[in-house]
Amino acid sequence: MDSGANYEVKDLKLAEQGLLNITWAERHMKALMQVKTRFSKEKPLEGLRIGMALHVTKETGVLVQTLMAGGAEVAITGCNPLSTQDDVAAALAKQGVRVWAYKGETNEDYYRYLNNVIAFRPDITIDDGCDLVTEIHTKHEDLLSRIIGGCEETTTGILRLKAMEKDNALKYPIIAVNDNQTKHLFDNYYGTGQSTLDGIIRATNILFSGKTVVVAGYGDCGKGVALRAKGMGAEVIVTEVEPVPALRAKTDGYRVMPMKEAAPLGDIFITVTGDRDVLTEEHFKLMKDGAILSNSGHFDVEIDVKYLRSASRKTVLVRPGLEEFDLGDRTLYLCGEGRLVNLACAEGHPSEVMSTSFCGQSLACEYIAKNRGKLSHKVLLLPEELDKQIARLQLDAIGVKMDELTEEQKAYLASWKEGT
């Protein structure tokens, strides 16, 4: 490990590769680069400290540089022990960014690093999964009055924050960046869809065509994963607990059934529910010999990995990111320790979708700065106009033009008198 007063990263010598990767990401994040250019001129974040717990990837590297261009000082740690790209962390450290992160963090280091970000005394927090907000609210209450707002990147984090809001425990405003249309309709759907399969393929190099893939959960992420698996020639089974998504999955052409019925049929299992205990002992005992298990939900609670480890006669790391569990009558394989397979075994979502997600983070920080002291201590949406602005930036970035309403069309839409 290389460490200094303001960083702890795997190896500073990786910085050159990290910079090349950040530059490669920039090329595909043109919308975010436009925000960066404006931020460099207007400095909307001047004088603010932004503390981040986000996957330390090349795309996050571009976000960090955007916030700094806006005048902010930034401190960052990861939000998952296996998702850090060590070259990117090294590049950020070399640029003088406060960064504490490495791939394969122990639980102790994970929380030590979160506390380094907290010790930086941020004015704004950016979280992916709500661990930073929770740590501040439970252990650093003295900081709560100085923090002007926060941003949350993911569905799981929003669920935790809404539970805090319901308990009257949330002590500063949070912008639900995940709930931007330009985030969840793209990042969760196209991003998770592609990167999840990318992770499983890098860990196993398995052929999807002709396999039966069981997707647990049919939210935006599950929809994307199911579509990509089908597109690669797999037969897809969806499991759900909510009637509307279950009906949607069936109508989209998938088989829908309880996990106990799907367990003996699946070759590859992908959990994306956001809840715990989706694949447990009762399911493992029904699975085919050789079944592959993976999770793309935020936390590693969806697959009962503890059971697999305790029941296994012998566990072998077959190749990076793939463990083999000998359960006596069958062998099961687990990708990425049951953590986010797209980041543990691949590089997370492609830069193009992270561009609109991180425009959301940047504009949310600017919105918090502009509305300092005026926002309620609730989970808030970014105004729709800003969401549309992000879509326009991205359309512009990829060279897509669209029509405009005529004055007559606007008047028609605004009137209630015209009918048949």
Nearer to ligand ADE, 60 or 295 (CB): 60
Smallest gap from residue 349 Cβ to ligand ADE (A) = 4
Instruction: List, in order, residues 6 or more apart from 95 with CB less than 8 Å away.
Output: none
- Residues 55, 59: Cα–Cα separation, whole Å: 9
Amino acid residing at 211: K
- Residues 218, 240: Cα–Cα separation, whole Å: 7
Smallest gap from residue 148 Cβ to ligand ADE (A) = 23
Smallest gap from residue 217 Cβ to ligand ADE (A) = 16
Reading across the β-sheet that carries 212-216, which strands appear in turn? 255-256, 235-239, 212-216, 268-271, 292-295, 331-335, 322-326, 315-319
Task: Write out the E strands in 153-261.
Answer: 174-176, 212-216, 235-239, 255-256
C-alpha separations of 358 from 249, 320, 327, 371, 375 in Å: 29, 29, 43, 20, 21
Nearer to ligand ADE, 59 or 123 (CB): 59
For tokens 């926002």, name the residue: 375
- Residues 9, 104: Cα–Cα separation, whole Å: 11
Give the footprint of ligand ADE on this chain (CB under 6 A): 55, 57, 59-60, 343, 348-349, 354
In DSSP terms, which residues pair with 88 in a beta bridge? none
Smallest gap from residue 222 Cβ to ligand ADE (A) = 15
Nearer to ligand ADE, 79 or 322 (CB): 79
For tokens 């048949």, name the residue: 420
Amino acid residing at 288: K
Rg of the chain in Å (alpha carbons)? 22
Smallest gap from residue 348 Cβ to ligand ADE (A) = 3
Tokens standing for residue 155: 């569905």
Nearer to ligand ADE, 198 or 323 (CB): 198
Smallest gap from residue 197 Cβ to ligand ADE (A) = 14
Nearer to ligand ADE, 32 or 292 (CB): 32
Backbone angles phi and psi of 171, in degrees to 5: -110, 5
Smallest gap from residue 136 Cβ to ligand ADE (A) = 21
Nearer to ligand ADE, 127 or 267 (CB): 127
Number of residue whose CB is nearest ligand ADE: 348
Nearer to ligand ADE, 199 or 266 (CB): 199
Q: Are 383 and 178 in contact (CB under 8 A)?
A: no
Smallest gap from residue 127 Cβ to ligand ADE (A) = 12
Nearer to ligand ADE, 60 or 65 (CB): 60
Smallest gap from residue 173 Cβ to ligand ADE (A) = 22
Q: Are 120 and 75 in contact (CB under 8 A)?
A: yes
Smallest gap from residue 367 Cβ to ligand ADE (A) = 20
Backbone angles phi and psi of 362, in degrees to 5: -65, -45
Q: Are 373 and 148 in contact (CB under 8 A)?
A: yes
Tokens standing for residue 400: 């897509």
Instruction: List, in order, residues 6 or more apart from 258 with CB less than 8 Å away.
Output: 239
